[in-house]
A and B are shown apart, each in its own frame.
Chain A
Amino acid sequence: MEISILKDREKQIVRKGKEPFKIACGKQSIAGSVSQRACVFCGSRVVLYPVTDALHIVHGPIGCAAYTWDIRGSLSSDNELYRSSFSTDLGEHDVIYGGEKKLYNILISLIDKHKPAASFVYSTCIIGIIGDDVDSVCKRVEQEKGIPVIPVHSEGFKGSKKDGYRAACEALFKLVGTGDTSAIGTYSINILGEFNLAGEAWIIRDYYKKMGVEVVSTITGDATVSDIRKAHGAKLNVVQCSGSMTSLAKMMEEKYGIPYIKVSYFGIEDVSKALYDVAEHFNSVEIMDKTKAMVFEEIDRIYPKILEYRKDLSGKKAAIYVGGAFKAFSLIKALNLIGMRTLIAGSQTGTEEDYKNLSEVCEDGAIILDDSNPAELSKYAIEKEIDLLIGGVKERPIAYKLGFGFCDHNHERKEALAGFVGMLNFVREVHSTVMSPVWKFTRGGSV
């Protein structure tokens, strides 16, 4: 079957070639498309979710809370409060008469009961329409209960997931600067944009510890309110997942003069660079020496095993469709290391510059996609005869139905994929799916 492309979307799809690179992006999805994108609320919820000792309350009808109840594999070393789903469960009566009173009562009773360190109140679509004054309810509760009660302006229709990241950053910024920083040393950082999926933040924190760098807070992975409060005491912000956290880094730079660097912890090349960049920033021979020793040791440990997997994987073809373009960039490099070719690369929220960078590391003829959909992904996956799709929950069954391997690089990853050990896990996961015997039954396997 020929799969056709929405006409208005043609400019959001580029085939790398001799033409100068030009892509349309940052657009609202076309009405009627089967977009893989989510909304503002989704963006805010995923960023703030790993604040483990905060009370997260979703102000709206039940759905938004139900769909985000414990779906993110972001781990906590202590508090589990964040994994419960609290909702004002607005009904028809509330929509007509307003939900402020209900919100107030719920906040008071939940704070009394759980004694959280802070509370985030997420506004959903409908709050923007019925006009509840969430700010003043939060302020009142904050005064009465003596903990930060922070409104998150995350009405779904007010933009894309990116706008949700920004709303989350604004909410976090209200906490930053309210804690005591006297005990924080010179060689100190905040890890931004690392969500501790499958315990990844723990791996990264451990590297910094070995380097002699103090991690003040991880925003947000296994995060606590008290850590975030003193984040302004750190001397450097190290930003991963640039799409979600750059705005917080910028706000902190402006107000507290903390510089920031962008990094990625995926793939040997990028994680090494990330750690060296941090070491370099502090300009300390001791830290640099420790970093070098650690990086050598880590690579020594994993590289021979990776080469084993490379034998099977070399020359296999991959497609990448992820939330942020920055991650796609790291993934392409990681795939290169095991000899795999990336023939399709796309994201939900990339910028023109992101896509230009992406196309530069892809080979000629590769397809670059912005805000794609199942029909397009299938079309190009079939055309390029790929062996592996890397994506999130909605992409997985598409790959499987077509008979390709799949690797979840989103909330549903079960293994840590960050850091050096993460690279080995990633390669093992890719190997397990690309080389799976199941494809013998499916590819041309007619009875």
Chain B
Amino acid sequence: MLLRHTPQETIERKALTINPAKTCQPIGAMYAALGIHNCLPHSHGSQGCCSYHRSTLTRHFKEPAMASTSSFTEGSSVFGGQANLVEAINNIFTVYNPDVIAVHTTCLSETIGDDLTQMAQKAKDEGYVPAGKKVIYASTPSYVGSHVTGYANMVRGMVDLLAVSTTAKKLDQINVIPGFVEPSDMAEIKRIAELFGKKVIMYPDTSNVLNSPMTGKFKMYPKGGAKTEDIALSGDSKVTLALGRFATGIGAKLLDTKHKVPCELLDLPIGLAATDRYVEMLKKYSGQSVPESLMEERGQLVDMITDMHQYFYGKKVALAGDPDQLVALTEFLISIDMKPVHIVTGTPGNKFERRIKELTENLPYKVNYTVPSDLFTLHQWIKNESVDLIIGNTYTKYIARDEDIPSIRFGFPILDRVGHQYFPMAGYKGAMRLLEKILTCLLDKQDKDAPEEKFELVM
């Protein structure tokens, strides 16, 4: 009984987070930056921040995660981190030779008021940034937002400092900005877009960076990642499809205001309807009809839902995770007759609350959500109204064990299972994988618990 401290009676808590359903901005910025080819993320703060983020990314992806740090000392926190950052930029380009350094701040460097724009300029003025190389940056104080916000801010940094517009007339190419999803999802999102035959510029793209093959060689910069020259071209595209408003909205909007690339803010293409909307947009902006192969994938997904719909019916689910994922999941689960009765995110933002309200207000049952919240609250809700399934990151397994509820891993971080790096949950095929996981979980439980006379061979 790991969580025996969780009482059933819910109490009003204003200023205390217990068992957070989020982490801090810098790790999101680091993850996004790893989605640029030949890019070294740089943490402008104490050594520990960088170390924790790398460890967490490594535990989640089972991959090395490269990043450097400004190694703040007491001196730098009094006199400012400029000397450290300028020296770091010089050292990094000299030894690690990336194409891009992507600097993000921490609570420490933000609070002492370090100005990254000015520092990056100083490094440039002193000749530490070789020709053709870039330093991009994002402000990501840990006391604002969450890892999702950090990802969004670094995406915005990419747009701000790498994208350019070269022609007045937009080119027949489509930008795709994926939210904070797995490398496998990014690859799937790109694959679907490319089926429409137009040039697709997608960033960040962590596929083949954080799920790279075993080669027996040390690769500081693995093969994958969006190329800087492609990101530069994104200012000339005719549209940006931003997948997941929380993680991509500000970047996509900046492409619009700065380079006049209009954007479509969509949900993450997780589940049937959300993927349909993504596909609809691709159809619209490519001027092509939906490829037959994609229609087949959709058909298979619908077939699977049809075959198994009785097993989904009325099953109660508790969800914990990041806003973009939760919005898509909630819609999908409702659409297959499941009941998402508890929804928890640690990422603050009332847009999320509004969106969940839209999706759930007409349901004939009550759905619990308050924003932001934590896993302690989720556990209390579950104690008051139990569920058939929990979907969330690894930390939800404490609740699953204590309450003997089946659970599947979804989101960040996943520290105790593999597969998320390689097999997507996005798109039609991803939705099938999600359903397979849900069904396996529910049916295994039924097999295990069924009294002998009700134990079924065919399900």
Contacts and interface: CB of A to CB of B under 8 A. Distances in A.
Q: Report the 10 A-B pairs with minimum CB-CB distance, sorted nearest first.
A: A39-B48, A63-B24, A32-B88, A32-B91, A156-B46, A378-B218, A61-B142, A66-B23, A89-B17, A67-B52
Interface in A1-45: 1, 3-8, 28-42
10 contacts: A32-B88, A35-B68, A38-B52, A62-B23, A63-B52, A84-B3, A156-B72, A157-B73, A159-B73, A374-B220
B52 A375 contact: no
A91 B149 CA distance: 14
A102 interface: yes
Contacts of B88: 31-32
Contact of A29 (B13, B47, B67, B218): B47
A375 B89 contact: no
Nearest to B46: A156
Interface of A: 1, 3-8, 28-42, 60-69, 80-81, 83-92, 94-95, 102, 105-106, 109-110, 113-114, 124-126, 128-130, 156-160, 374-375, 378-379, 382, 393-394, 396-398, 400-403, 442-443
Interface string B33-65: 000000010100111111111111011001110
Contacts of A31: 69-71, 84-85, 87-88, 91
Contact of B19 (A84, A114, A130): A84
B52 A42 contact: yes
B346 to A, nearest CB: 7
B448 interface: no
A40 B214 contact: no
B18 interface: yes
B146 interface: yes
A86 to B, nearest CB: 6
Contacts of A88: 15-17
Interface residues of B, number: 80
B47 A62 contact: no
B111 A62 contact: no
A153 to B, nearest CB: 12
Contact of B45 (A37, A125, A160): A125
B67 A39 contact: no
A34 B66 contact: yes
Interface of B: 1-5, 13-20, 22-27, 40, 42, 45-56, 58-59, 62-64, 66-74, 76-77, 84-85, 87-92, 94-96, 106-108, 111-112, 141-144, 146, 212, 214-220, 346, 395
Contacts of B2: 80, 83
Contact of B23 (A6, A28, A67, A159): A67
Contact of A157 (B17, B46, B56): B46
Contact of A114 (B5, B14, B48, B59): B5
A61 B20 CA distance: 11
Given A33-B71, A39-B49, A83-B2, A397 B220 contact: no
A393 B58 contact: yes
A81 B143 contact: no
A341 B295 CA distance: 59
A28 B89 CA distance: 17
Contacts of B20: 62, 65-66, 69, 85, 87, 89
Nearest to B142: A61
Q: Which of A4, A69, A114, A401 is most buried by chain B, counting CB atoms within 10 A of its CB?
A: A401
A32 B97 CA distance: 12
Contact of B143 (A68, A95, A106, A400): A95
Nearest to A404: B216
Contacts of A3: 218, 220
Contact of B46 (A33, A39, A80, A379): A39
A443 B216 CA distance: 7
